[in-house]
Structure 1
């Protein structure tokens, strides 16, 4: 049996990425429809209250709230903006200007979509429990969860494209996913988002990150493997 060719491998990977993109878009649309029809209220309420004691205080020791605020900052615009500019500057210095531009496009486009979606759905923030941090915008989708997915997953995609070690690629991707999940969890734990806000944010962010990954493949392709030098005749 012949080993899969490079073209077959790329075709399989492209199909997997396309399937993941459609799954993320479908999940966001389904959540948006169910939320608009009020079908998620019971689920949202049960999950949100599961992280509170009878006095509506967060579970766990007092210092855990500080930890959760620190984690939630990893999805805030200030941290993500600094990280994005730093990595984009590095890519620019390495003459990978298209990748730098795509990275900036990722965070700008994600932020625009987040603001538009919040304005369209205009879902109120949870009022069941006191908020563990300040909030000033609508609830659906979670901007922190979405932007964490957009930036950390896109950064992982940019780095793993040029990383030859499969183990390192898996590690960086898993790390980006872990940070994204932690940010979303912190938003629910702090009581500032309904769980479906976070799920929708993850779905929208993952979809946008996959689109940016595809654009990087098209607009900034990596050089293919160099053919082996011919063996000199003896």
Structure 2
């Protein structure tokens, strides 16, 4: 693993740690209040229904079903199924551990859905960040068409962003919870992809 890859993996973790310090120093309170206010300023029944649908797209069961489906298709089974499933599992495990470490309570605001447990980092944001970052890396690796790469990568970014926003809108997470989840989830994907890519290169070289 070269230094550039190491920095790509380590930097999100460093930013995550800095964010955690800012949270517990109270530095993020004003920003979080402003962001939540902006998120719910135009709250409506239609938008709330949409946010509930979007947040369910990021539910663990939805992500698990998606990962299992990758093993059913021959092309994805041989390429992206294993590393994608690995980052989802790792994100889930690390999220449980991190929530126990930080033990941050959920926002004391109107909750439009029921959630239990600690708040930081957001599990939905973390798991889906790891999923979609890995998918983007695989899209870049395997798709030849630039237009298809751009479209599908943009779709992944949009979905991850909307799922994260929905958690704040629905009142179950602070914006910093979502940001922390994105950072740590991205770090996991970058680490797994770099290790997987190195292994693929060794396998390819051993065939010659």
TM-score (norm 1): 0.78
Partner of 1:105: 86
Q: Is 1:67 matched with 2:55?
A: no
Pairing partner for 2:161 from 181, 185, 193 = 181
Q: Offset at 1:101?
A: 2.6
Count, aligned residues: 203
Q: Is 1:191 matched with 2:171?
A: yes
Partner of 1:164: 144
Q: Offset at 1:41?
A: 1.7
Q: Report the CA distance shift for 1:88/1:160 in structure 2 as closer, same or farther (over 3 A).
A: farther
Pairing partner for 1:89 from 41, 49, 72 = 72
Partner of 1:153: 133
Asked whether the equivalents of residues 139 and 153 of structure 2 are also in contact (C-alpha less than 8 Å), the reply is no
Secondary structure at 2:40 match in 1: coil
Asked whether the equivalents of residues 122 and 140 of structure 1 are also in contact (C-alpha less than 8 Å), the reply is yes
Q: Is 1:117 matched with 2:105?
A: no
Residue-by-residue CA offset, 1:204-224 (whole Å, 9 max, x unaligned) = 111111112212211224969
Secondary structure at 1:118 match in 2: helix
The two structures, once aligned, show a CA RMSD in angstroms of 2.3
Partner Cα separation in structure 1 for residue 145 and residue 111 of structure 2: 43
Pairing partner for 2:117 from 118, 129, 137 = 137
Q: Report the CA distance shift for 1:43/1:30 in structure 2 as closer, same or farther (over 3 A).
A: same
Pairing partner for 1:80 from 63, 69, 75 = 63
Gaps of 5+ in 2: none
Which structure: greater helix fraction? 2
Q: Offset at 1:112?
A: 0.3
Partner of 1:126: 107
Gaps of 5+ in 1: 1-10, 54-58, 225-234
Partner Cα separation in structure 2 for residue 114 and residue 124 of structure 1: 15
Bigger RCO of structures 1 and 2 (CA < 8 A, at least 6 apart): 2
Q: Offset at 1:97?
A: 4.7
Partner of 1:52: 40
Q: Report the CA distance shift for 1:84/1:72 in structure 2 as closer, same or farther (over 3 A).
A: same
Q: Report the CA distance shift for 1:215/1:88 in structure 2 as closer, same or farther (over 3 A).
A: farther
Q: Report the CA distance shift for 1:71/1:96 in structure 2 as closer, same or farther (over 3 A).
A: closer
For structure 1, which segment, 18-27 or 135-144, has the greater mean C-alpha deviation from structure 2 after superposition?
A: 18-27
Residue-by-residue CA offset, 1:50-98 (whole Å, 9 max, x unaligned) = 3335xxxxx23311101001111122101101111111333xx349657
Q: Offset at 1:175?
A: 1.4
